[in-house]
Amino acid sequence: MVNEDFMLALHTLEKEKGINKDTLFEAIEAALISAYRRNFSSAHNVRVHIDREEGTINVFSCLNVVEQVSNPQQEISLEEAKKINPLSEPGDMLEIEVTPRNFGRIAAQTAKQVVIQRIREAERELIYEEFLDREDDIVTGVIHRFEQKNAVINLGRAEAILPTSEQLQGETYRQGDRIKAYITEVRKTTKGPQIFVSRTHPGLIKRLFELEVPEIYNGIVEIKSVAREPGNRSKVAVYSRNKDVDPVGACVGPKGSRVQAIVNELNGEKIDIMEWNDDPEIFLASTLSPAKTIKVKLNAGEKSATAIVPDYQLSLAIGREGQNVRLAARLSGWKIDIISESSYLEKMKRETVEKQKDNNDKKPSAEIVDAQMPEIEDTQLFEEIETEKETHGDKETQIDEEIPSDKEMQMGYPLAEETESGLRELIFPADPENTKIEERKKKEKPKKKVKKGKSSIVEDEDDEYYDKVEMRKGKRIKR
């Protein structure tokens, strides 16, 4: 009979350590077999059975039934076997109980170390399986000690190692600090499972958002991509499966409370949140936030893109030491080049000039001037129009034939004029007939100012009042 305290100890181990009682009984039975063979110098095949309820121990010797015995320690004759079990046949395995009287005390002394070892192995196996399932998950622990600058974190049932390479730059760790970390790897060793955690992995951002944002935990909002430079800046692209839920607003939270909690956990690391879009042009423009993008030109074959930004936002789009554009490229998976608006216009000018040289065109057409040659001045087209007038003569009939109608003026003769924003606008030349009328008005006699009292009155020379004033002046002169 096994001691009742021993059975109670097994029951307590099952509750505290989470080890199944059957596993403990199997370990004890294996230990008792080795103890029986060593103490009783037995070479028999023996089996030990412990009753799970009463705790009684029985030892059985296992013998093969044969007609002629050649090895008495492992075989038994058919005649003797039938005395024990009349149904025995050659080739059967017969078990004979050989339990010693004082076997309980011997078993307790001999099997102690074996049982302890099996309990440790079972506990390590449970811990390994538990944390293996939690790989790529977040854990919370307390810094217990330091080993060669590596922080050892106490997770309760196990200890995790935070290597120096996985620690945030500029973050100080002290013994007793409670931190959150991301499980990157779980190894199985002879000394037990080794758990490695990280504070720099991009997965830590994702798990922290799952903890702080209920919409992400419930699956309404999905984190599509995360790009991170640990300790400095991160970019997160989110998508909502529900049209009524704003993914960016859900992650930011009321007055920024949700994202601020994550920033505090990461020791002040900045986080940019943008909405995911299936259109690469729209999504790439948003990845460069907070910089504004004028246009994005895609090259789907090479999976590269050129983003055109205003001149005053070029440095903002590139970021400090290229950080902003680098994170945008990681987040989207595209190669991104940043170019300013002025540089882009100059590039287009050079390309246009090269095309004209290749085509051997002496003078650009109106369409090229309008769309591709913003540098050509308006005077060039005016000179061409004047030359055409001189060729056809100065008669009004000839001019009227050469001057296009209002409808033709709307369709042709566009002039490119550069505005303050750098863009080009179409300008049409004035109607020559209207120009003549204006010239006639200029040739007419200018108006004169006449003083009357303290005020100045402007009168036309053809006015009667003006004539009377001149007559009065003449009379005064004669007097």
Helix (H, G, I), strand (E, B) or coil at 92: coil
Note down the domain range covering 189. 134-198
pLDDT tens per residue, range 77-127: 887 788 887 887 887 877 777 777 766 666 666 667 777 777 788 788 888
Position 431 in a domain: yes
Same structural domain, 100 and 148:
no
Termini Cα distance of the chain: 162
| Number of domains within the chain | 5
Which of 310-319, 373-382, 385-394 has the least mean pLDDT?
Answer: 373-382
pTM for the model: 0.59
Same structural domain, 33 and 88:
yes
DSSP single-letter state for residue 279: S
Contact 192, 127 (CB under 8 A): yes
Residue 435 has pLDDT above 90, yes or no: no
Q: Pick the residue with more confidence: 407 or 356?
A: 356
Residue 422's pLDDT band (boundaries 50, 70, 90)? very low
Residue 196 has pLDDT above 90, yes or no: yes
Same structural domain, 22 and 96:
yes
Position 385 in a domain: yes
Same structural domain, 10 and 79:
yes
Same structural domain, 55 and 159:
no
DSSP single-letter state for residue 2: -
d(Cα 29, Cα 22) in Å, to the nearest integer?
10
Residue 365's pLDDT band (boundaries 50, 70, 90)? low
Of all residues in the chain, the percent with pLDDT exceeding 70 is 70
Residue 457's pLDDT band (boundaries 50, 70, 90)? very low
Contact 157, 127 (CB under 8 A): yes
Position 253 in a domain: no
Q: Pick the residue with more confidence: 412 or 40?
A: 40
Question: Last residue of a domain, which of 181, 198, 215?
Answer: 198
Q: Pick the residue with more confidence: 460 or 26?
A: 26
Residue 56's pLDDT band (boundaries 50, 70, 90)? confident
CATH of the domain at 87: 3.30.1480.10
H-type alpha helices, 273-431: 280-287, 314-318, 323-332, 341-359, 366-371, 378-392, 396-402, 406-411
DSSP letters, 145-172, are EEETTEEEEE-SSSEEEE-GGGSPTT--
Position 266 in a domain: no
CATH of the domain at 146: 2.40.50.140
